Structure 1
Amino acid sequence: MKKNIAYFGEIEINSPQETTEGKVTIDNHQIELDLNFYDGVPEHDWVAEYESYIKDLKQHKTNVEAAIRSDYEDGGDVKEYVDFHLEELDASTLDKVLAGTDASKSKEERLLSVLKLTRIGFYPGDEDYAVWDYTIGREITDLLVVVNTDSTGKINYVTWEN
């Protein structure tokens, strides 16, 4: 049975492809989406679960970004990500990354402010239902700040990875 899934188009819901790609625009930024079924199709109604999550996408984004800020302020993985890039990037690259940020703030705060959402991966049936990827620029680094949420949008954890 095929069904039209928001941001992904028409999908065979009982036997979807392992990965289906889509796009959404949030706050004038285009975000890549992917729907992943590596472990097969879950037995519960994954379409309803997805639709419930996606209808609150902007609120989830607000919560994810609050978790990133909180993790940074608590000296967690986001602080490590920021510190790592301040140490590793050469001065000219860092100047390019920080261009247009508030020069009255610390370099750490400025680097944190340029983190942008680039991708949300959905994994129906998994505990880490949605994976939110943030970067200071894919042309600058392969490393990402990653936030995982459950299917209700509750934050599972914040980390950084490549």
Structure 2
Amino acid sequence: MNNHQLPFFESIDISTLKEYYKVHTILDNSKISIDINFEKKFIDENTFQVLKNFLESIPKFDEQNKSLISNDFKEEGEAFDYINFYLDELGQEELSSIINIDNDNYPKEKQLLDKLRLIRVGLYPDGKYDADYFGVFDYSIEIDGEPCNQLLVVKTDVKDDLDHITWES
């Protein structure tokens, strides 16, 4: 056995990997899930260390991703479309349960951006599913305490450099 301890996870044997690992944890007072998806049955020590370092950096990456999302919104990218979807689709009552719609000094769009919460981190350290990215960060807005099924997704490389942002459901 070649057991190693990963942040958030129990010990894993890097010489006989399962295809899928998943945990739930709390980050910034919000529940998130973290999953690791392996193509191969083993990884080397270097890949393990990269994975460990990435997991340890999730809080930092979350902050970086929020900045990327904000910039994407300003550039009228996927984040812009995502936020405007909610402004178009939600009635005033639903919208007012999420943000302060009467605050003229704090634009509704900015309020919704600030309500985005990380709900999942998916890792693909060896390219499972032909992924050409390492980390997937799913963000959502909560309505009535539950994340919506519309996700703003930040896909990154192993250093958390942006691959792309997309909107998924």
Instruction: Flag the 1:30–1:102 CA change in 2: closer, same or farther, 3 A.
Output: farther
The alpha carbon displacement at 1:12 in A equals 2.3
Q: Is residue 102–residue 110 contact of structure 1 (8 Å, CA) maintained in 2?
A: no
Amino acid at match of 1:40: K
Aligned counterpart, 1:131: 136
Residue type of the partner of 2:48?
V
Moved more, 137-146 or 85-94: 137-146
After the TM superposition, list the runs of 4 or more consecutive aligned residues in structure 1 that deviate by more than 3 angstroms: 41-45
Mapping 1:13-52, distance limit 5 Å? 13-37=14-38, 39-41=39-41, 44=44, 45-52=46-53
Q: Secondary structure at the match of 1:3?
A: strand
1:140–1:122 Cα change, 3 Å: closer
Native 8 Å contact 1:20 1:35 kept in 2 = yes
1:142 paired residue number: 149
- Correspondence for 1:3: 4
Aligned to 1:53: 54
- Partners of 1:102 and 1:133 lie apart in 2 by 29
AA at the equivalent of 1:93: E
Separation of aligned partners in 2, 1:57 and 1:5: 13
Deviates more, 1:84-93 or 1:131-140: 131-140
- Taking the aligned partners of 2:95 and 2:36, their CA distance within structure 1 comes to 34
- Alpha-carbon deviations, 1:36-76, whole Å to 9, x = none? 11x22475532111112123322212211110000001000
Does 2:163 match 1:156? yes
C-alpha distance in structure 1 between counterparts of 2:147 and 2:59, whole Å: 27
Percent of aligned positions that are identical: 27
2:155 and 2:41 mapped to 1: Cα distance? Answer: 20
Q: Is the 8 A contact 2:18 2:41 kept in 1?
A: no
1:75 match: secondary structure: coil
Within 5 Å, give how 1:46-125 maps onto structure 2. 46-98=47-99, 103=103, 104-125=105-126
Moved more, 152-161 or 16-25: 16-25
- 1:3 is displaced (CA, Å) by 1.9
In structure 1, what is the Cα distance between the partners aligned to 2:163 and 2:102?
31
Alignment: residue pair count: 160
**Unaligned runs of at least 5 residues, structure 1:** none
Structure 1 counterpart of 2:164, one-letter code: Y
Q: Is the 8 A contact 2:16 2:42 kept in 1?
A: no
TM-score by length of 1: 0.88
8 Å contact 2:19–2:41 — kept in the other structure? no
Matched position secondary structure for 1:8: coil
* DSSP-derived class of the 2:97 partner: helix
* TM-superposition CA deviations, 1:140-160 (whole Å, max 9, x none): 631100001111111111111
One-letter amino acid of the structure 1 residue matched with residue 161 of structure 2: K
